[in-house]
Amino acid sequence: MASGRMEFHARSIMQHANFAFVLPNDVEMPEVIDPRHYDRPAKTLILLHGLTGTDTDWLFGGVAQEMAIQYNLAVFMPTCGNNFYLDRGYVGGNYATFVGEEFPAYVRSVFGYAQSREDTLIGGLSMGGYGALHTAFAFPETYSACIALSSALRIRAFAAGENEGVMPMAMVRDVFGDLEGIEETDKNPEVQYRQLKAAGADIPRLYLAIGTEDSLLGANRQFRDFLKEQNADFCYEEGPGGHNWRFWNEYLNRGLGRLLKP
């Protein structure tokens, strides 16, 4: 098992981008619950942090190393600030392009893992759950599956001028731009999904989970109902818990177990 941190110059966000990684090399098989995951080459998981987070969150608060061991995954975790993994429309502010194209291309070229869409997944929590969904839908040629935990699906609330979260509205407008009619733009994962379906595109498989004590429960249930109406290929789970690492660690494991079932 190897782990560490690196940085590289990312053109899409015009800065030296930090990222952490865990690689499933030198794994001792007695540690692995289901060794069948090692009957195939390692897959890659891009794992996104939440608001105020960094690339080390899934290492120190989360179970990135354990998931790498159990599922034969190379896990890469970039720092992207509080930008919701969205493109601002100019070089230097294109965070969707960064996590959807530039970052996975960089780690593929440097580390050599998962050269295909089928072997590349994306996941995240809260802001990163929204970011994972948005990125998977914006770049379905990169990602074959997505794990979205406690996703900050607040587009409808923002459009209605409602904000019960920690972001002040000035920050919301800075990140998302003009909020009037935003629910009809591709910043809304529902719009993205409809566009992919209409185009006959390969839509990534989805795993979503939310705690029953989480303030984002209602928004996640709305998205679940939308996916049901669309006959989407997805799994949605609820369970006891709030917006915390205990929930995210358990359900990251559950999501990977479902999506990577041997």
Q: How many residues does the chain have?
A: 262
Q: Which amino acid is at 139?
A: F
The b/e string for 145-165 (b: 16+ C-beta within 10 A; e otherwise) is bbbbbbbbbbbebbbeeeeeb
Q: What is the C-alpha separation between 89 and 250, in angstroms, rounded?
A: 36
Tell me the per-residue pLDDT of 161-174, one tens digit each, with 9 for 90 and over.
Answer: 887 677 888 999 99
Tokens 């920690």 identify what position? Answer: 166
The whole-number average pLDDT for the span 208-237 is 97
pTM over 0.85: yes
Domains of the chain: 2-259 (3.40.50.1820)
Tell me the per-residue pLDDT of 52-79, one tens digit each, with 9 for 90 and over.
Answer: 999 999 999 999 999 999 999 999 999 9
Q: What is the C-alpha separation between 250 and 258, in angstroms, rounded?
A: 13
Tell me the per-residue pLDDT of 101-152, one tens digit each, with 9 for 90 and over.
Answer: 999 999 999 999 999 999 999 999 999 999 999 999 999 999 999 999 999 9
Residues ≥6 apart with Cβ < 8 Å to 218: none
Tell me the per-residue pLDDT of 25-47, one tens digit each, with 9 for 90 and over.
Answer: 999 999 999 999 999 999 999 99
Give the per-residue pLDDT at 167.
Answer: 86
What's 7-19 look like in SS3? EEEECCCCEEEEE
Structure tokens, 132? 């994972």
Report CA-CA distances (Å) from 206 to 68, 121, 136.
20, 10, 9
Q: Where are the alpha helices (DSSP H) in the chain?
A: 57-60, 64-71, 95-97, 103-111, 127-138, 155-159, 169-176, 189-199, 217-229, 245-259
Cβ atoms of 157 and 164 within 8 Å: the answer is yes
Task: Please state the φ and ψ torsions of residue 108, each to the nearest 5 degrees.
Answer: -65, -45
